[in-house]
Amino acid sequence: MKAKHQRLTLVLLAVVALIGAGSLAAYALQDQASYFYTPSDIADKKPAAGSAIRLGGMVEDGSIQRSADGVTVEFIVQDGTARQKVTYTGITPDLFVEGSGVVADGRLDANGLFVAETLLAKHDENYIPRELEGIDMTSGKHKTETLVQ
Amino acid sequence: MHAYANPARFLSVARPLTPFLLFGGIAMVLAACVWGLWATPAERLQGDTVKIIFVHVPMAWLGMAGWSGIAIASITELIWRHPLASHAARAIAVPGALFSLLCLITGSIWGRPAWGTWWVWDGRLTSMLVLFFLYLAYIVLANETSKANSQSRIAAIFGVVGIVNLPIIRFSVEWWETQHQGTSISIMGKSTIDALYLWPLLASAIGFSLLFGAIVLMRMRASLAQTKVDARLKRMAAE
């Protein structure tokens, strides 16, 4: 075997090992490296009331209720299997609408209500012009999964 | 391919190619930005903020493509010992770092109105920031090793090791729950971005790629010329 071929095998092996190790390690981190818990995670693990957690999911259609004081909003976050009631006092971001994604920092109170301290909107992977809103996306070129939730 | 590892032959191609890439890239980027900014509609939820993708997404792609280039050049250098490969890897590092930084900045500007925050430490944003730091480390390492006049093996090895981060950036939004949205553009399947945005985006991506190529060629030509100057100075000092 020529020296060049030796180096070739060595480097290729190193690259495969590196990418494999990196991907495996990253994949193994799944839970820990997730930026937030979904409502089903919370339903499964039941975090202690008062401990800080970050919740993410979709705002359930028709669930947003704004209080008379104008800054408190109550809504339900769902992920298709579980639901979590959330309350937040403050100004909501522009992308916070029913059916859209949210990420909220906060804690569960004794009654299982999630009290959010910060509220971020989460955009989905769909980019749709305003004029096309409301058009039936199932027939066209759009993926619908995130739209219908 | 091996034929072009010869610096003289490489230069005979790079010289006429540079202005073509440079002016072609500038024209294409300007056209795509005019198209993207004035001829596309506001997005359903984001409004006009959506238009930052015409810069943000090409920056992200080229930031990652840049490191792939460094890795390929480093592998070539390690195995075949082509001197041109180390020039190529070093030439890519600076525009790669710049494009990654611009990706982070434009993303942050978009994140404020869209998400409600400039920055979060989720998988996608953090791994992209790590890519930017890898570029900085690579630049420092490459500079130091060439100053010491030693072979640049260490920089090349670092260039190969750095590819670990690329699949992490790419799949971060699939492996983990992230603040950042999932992938919208797919070559094989359906894209979830409307064609009205997709076409100007592809145009600006091609334009920025040409520009990136022009910067790399210019930097390679400059570093080849510098090598020549150094060699001549050394010879003159010895005489």
In degrees and rounded to multiples of 5, residue B20 shows phi and psi of -60, -50
* Residue B131 pLDDT: 97
Min Cα–Cα distance to chain A from B111, Å:
9
* Residue A133 pLDDT: 58
* Residue A137 pLDDT: 42
Is some CB atom of chain B closer than 8 A to the CB atom of A13?
A: no
Residues of A in contact with B53 (CB under 8 A): 127
> What's the pLDDT band for A131 if we cut at 50, 70, 90?
low
Contact B89, B174 (CB under 8 A): no
pLDDT in tens, B46-103: 888 889 999 999 999 999 999 999 999 999 988 888 889 989 999 999 999 999 999 9
Residue B239 lies in a domain: no
Element (H, E) at A88: strand A83-89
Residue bearing the bigger pLDDT, B4 or B34: B34
Residue B189 lies in a domain: no
* Residue A148 pLDDT: 34
> What's the pLDDT band for B136 if we cut at 50, 70, 90?
very high
**CB within 8 Å of B228: residues ≥ 6 apart:** none
Residue B6 lies in a domain: no
* Residue A134 pLDDT: 53
Closest partner residue to B42 (CB to CB) among A27, A92, A130 is A130
Number of domains, chain B: 1
Amino acid identity of residue B51, one-letter, is K
Model confidence at A87: pLDDT above 80: yes
- Determine the Cα–Cα distance for residues B71 and A11; give it in Å rounded to an integer: 11
Contact A132, B42 (CB under 8 A): no
Residue B89 lies in a domain: yes
- Determine the Cα–Cα distance for residues B64 and B171; give it in Å rounded to an integer: 13
Here the tokens at position A38 are 């979904």
Residues of A in contact with B195 (CB under 8 A): 141
* Residue B1 pLDDT: 55
Mean pLDDT across the stretch B1-11?
76
Element (H, E) at A83: strand A83-89
Mean pLDDT across the stretch A6-27?
87
Here the tokens at position A146 are 């995130």
Residues of B in contact with A39 (CB under 8 A): none
Q: How far is CA A117 from the centre of its chain?
A: 17
> What's the pLDDT band for B219 if we cut at 50, 70, 90?
very high
Give the range of the structural domain holding residue B129, as residue numbers without chain letter. Answer: 13-179+195-228
Nearest to residue A55, comparing CAs of A66, A67, A47, A63?
A47
Min Cα–Cα distance to chain A from B226, Å:
29
This model of the complex carries an ipTM of 0.72
Here the tokens at position A106 are 């906060």
> What's the pLDDT band for A145 if we cut at 50, 70, 90?
very low
Model confidence at A110: pLDDT above 90: no
* Residue A47 pLDDT: 79
Here the tokens at position B36 are 């993207």
Model confidence at B2: pLDDT above 70: no
* Residue B210 pLDDT: 97
Q: Is A12 helix (H, G, I), strand (E, B) or coil?
A: helix
Model confidence at A24: pLDDT above 90: no
Residue B105 lies in a domain: yes
* Residue A139 pLDDT: 38
Contact A147, A126 (CB under 8 A): yes
Residues of A in contact with B168 (CB under 8 A): 22-23, 26
* Residue A7 pLDDT: 87
The CATH number that applies at residue B54 is 1.20.120
- Determine the Cα–Cα distance for residues B178 and A127; give it in Å rounded to an integer: 18
Q: How far is CA A5 from CA B3, B80, B153, B156, B194, in A?
A: 19, 9, 18, 18, 48
> What's the pLDDT band for A143 if we cut at 50, 70, 90?
very low
Residue B2 lies in a domain: no
Residue bearing the bigger pLDDT, A137 or B203: B203
pLDDT in tens, B142-169: 988 876 555 568 899 999 999 999 988 9
Residue bearing the bigger pLDDT, B211 or A14: B211
Nearest to residue A142, comparing CAs of B196, B32, B41?
B196
- Note the helical H segments in B116-194: 123-147, 153-161, 165-175
Nearest to residue B72, comparing CAs of B88, B52, B96?
B88
Model confidence at B171: pLDDT above 80: yes
Give the bridge partners for A84, in sequence order.
A77
Residue B235 lies in a domain: no
> What's the pLDDT band for B41 if we cut at 50, 70, 90?
confident
Residue B79 lies in a domain: yes
Q: How far is CA A102 from CA B51, B69, B176, in A?
A: 22, 37, 15
pTM of the model: 0.85
- Determine the Cα–Cα distance for residues B110 and B230; give it in Å rounded to an integer: 46
In degrees and rounded to multiples of 5, residue A97 shows phi and psi of -140, 170
pLDDT in tens, A28-59: 877 677 778 888 888 887 777 788 888 888 89
Element (H, E) at A108: strand A101-108
> What's the pLDDT band for B128 if we cut at 50, 70, 90?
very high
Model confidence at A81: pLDDT above 70: yes
Contact B206, B198 (CB under 8 A): no
